[in-house]
Amino acid sequence: MSITITVNNESLQGEIQSPLQLEIFEERCTLREIIRSRIYQDVTEYNARKRARQLCLIPPSPDQNHSEAVTENQPQLDWQLLYEQAIKAFGKRSYIVIVDTRQVTQLDSPILLTPESSVTFFKLVPLVGG
């Protein structure tokens, strides 16, 4: 049974992106699976040119076009590579994840989702000099 949850993107600087809907194929899953589904959907939409905004969990690479406009020259992104980068970024505490009202700190802890669940990704910015 699949369920659709709401995903929010925020930063500690107050930046908030429009929420998106994410289909998860099991109501009991892990944060790793949520991140995998999130990256897969983000990259699929980006590659299909349905979305021009920057991918939330992935730091922009030097060769990535930083404008909001979609161009035909943009390379296709590899979701598996970006998924690996997102997992590493989580390990480095580049972002935290709140599921409903609880921060999830372990990638493989079980999470029970409902159609009312929301997952918020808070992107953190490293301190200057740190």
The torsion region of residue 76 among left (phi > 0), alpha (psi -120 to 50) and beta comes to beta
Query: Rounded to 5 degrees, what are φ and ψ at 102?
Result: -120, 130
Dihedral, CA of residue 39, residue 109, residue 103 and residue 1, to nearest 10: 60
50/47 Cα distance (integer angstroms): 8
| pLDDT digit string, tens, across residues 29-81 | 999 999 999 999 988 888 887 665 555 666 555 554 444 454 566 678 899 99
For the record, the structure tokens of 22 come out as 């994410």
pLDDT at 17: 80
Radius of gyration of the chain, Cα coordinates, nearest whole angstrom: 15
Model pLDDT, residue 66: 42
Give me the pLDDT at residue 101, please: 93
How far apart (Å, rounded) are the C-alpha atoms in residues 109 and 46? Answer: 29
Query: What are the tens digits of pLDDT across the range 96-108?
Result: 999 999 999 999 9
**Coil, helix or strand for 118?**
strand
Average pLDDT in the chain: 82
pTM: 0.82
